Structure 1
Amino acid sequence: MAKKPTPAQTEKKDTEPKKGLNTKLILLIVGVVFVLVAGGGAAYYFLVMAPAAHTEPAEGSETTDGHATEDTHAVKTDHPIEQVPVIYHAFKPLTVNIAASGPVRFLRINITVVTRTAAVVAALEKHLPRIQNDLLTQLSGQSYAVVNTQEGKNSLRESLKKMLNDILTKSREPADIQDILFTELLMQ
């Protein structure tokens, strides 16, 4: 007959696997904590310490090699980021008769002006009657064959940008229009 294990032998068998399991669990927890600490340290370095390393001394101060700096940039970056937000100003849609060289006779266009100066938006509103008049005049001279091409649209965009900047300049207003966007362009 087989001998029954004694209670001391049974306890010994039960504690051995638990001890190995506890060691593995502790090593796993230590590994996870190490990865989290290393990731946090790397994030701190790249977000806090690295930008500080790219700053240059102010004008007239000395660098670490004892030479005076000539540049006045506070932060040196490879990709300059504009700090002023973009402002979009949409005009009401305009419908004009265009040069009829076929079945297309009407052009409906929605224009949005892109600027970074709030004073430009106020000036556009102030001189809106003059702007609408010049827009209608310029758009009515367009033809379907020209406006229907990508080059024609780009050319129209540039000529409208120049026209709006000229109106604002002649009115002694800030003329900082960066781009013209067509949010609707329909010909029929």
Structure 2
Amino acid sequence: MAEEEERELTEEEQAAVERKAKRKRWLLLGLLAILLVAISVGTTVGLLHMLGAEEATPVAGEEAPVEEVEPEPERAIYYPLKEKFVINYNVRGRQRFLQAEVNLMFRDNDVAKAIERHMPRIRNDLIMLFSGQEFEDLQTPEGRELLRQDAVRQVRQILEEETGEPGVEQVLFTSFVMQ
């Protein structure tokens, strides 16, 4: 019986030794994984730092690249022409009307003063332009776009003649009603 107890103790001790060995293996594998991750991160950070330093320092004989900073474009200013344009058309013996609200878009405040100063001529020329159109043409999107482009040219031409600069970028229809 004494021998059997010794064998049982030996088997229990052996099981305990095996458990400790497994724990050590898992602990070593975990530490090894952590070490590999730390080495990988350190290498990556080091390489990025070195590459960043190389880009920042110019090579001997080379000038450092100069970054061109584009000036921020001025914000658009919208100037509504106060009164709506009302144009009448005679289409196949029937009276037809166009009512349009027009805004001018520009980026320089000085242009607003020039527009106000020359408003009678601008309104006159736009009325003449609108009334010279064919009513059927204005019913299509293409016809309205062509009219808008003609209006831009007309307003630019007036401002160019009077101030020396075209000033206006766009003529925008904010309302365009045809009856």
The two structures have a TM-score, normalised by structure 1, of 0.57
Q: Which amino acid aligns with 2:122?
A: I
Name which of 62, 71, 88 aligns with 1:67: 62
Distance 1:118 1:102, change over 3 A: farther
The two structures have a TM-score, normalised by structure 2, of 0.60
Displacement of 1:100 in angstroms is: 2.4
Displacement of 1:143 in angstroms is: 1.9
Distance 1:88 1:68, change over 3 A: same
Displacement of 1:173 in angstroms is: 4.4
Bigger helix fraction: 2
Distance 1:90 1:122, change over 3 A: same
* Correspondence 1:88 to 2:78: yes
Contact preservation (8 Å) 2:58, 2:64: no
Deviations 1:68-87 (A, max 9, x none): 47867136xxxxx8431110
Contact preservation (8 Å) 1:96, 1:106: yes
- Structure 1's unaligned 5+ residue stretches are 1-52, 54-62, 76-80
- Structure 2's unaligned 5+ residue stretches are 1-51
Contact preservation (8 Å) 1:99, 1:143: no
Structure 2 distance, partners of 1:102, 1:68, is: 76
Corresponding residue for residue 27 of structure 1: none
Q: Which amino acid aligns with 1:83?
A: P
Partner SS, residue 169 of structure 2: strand
Give the number of equivalent residue pairs. Answer: 123
Distance 1:98 1:67, change over 3 A: farther
* Correspondence 1:170 to 2:164: no
1:4-15 paired onto structure 2 within 5 Å: none
Identity %: 30
1:107-186 paired onto structure 2 within 5 Å: 107-186=98-177
Q: Which amino acid aligns with 1:132?
A: R
Partner SS, residue 157 of structure 2: helix
Structure 2 distance, partners of 1:109, 1:69, is: 56
Displacement of 1:111 in angstroms is: 0.5
Distance 1:134 1:70, change over 3 A: farther
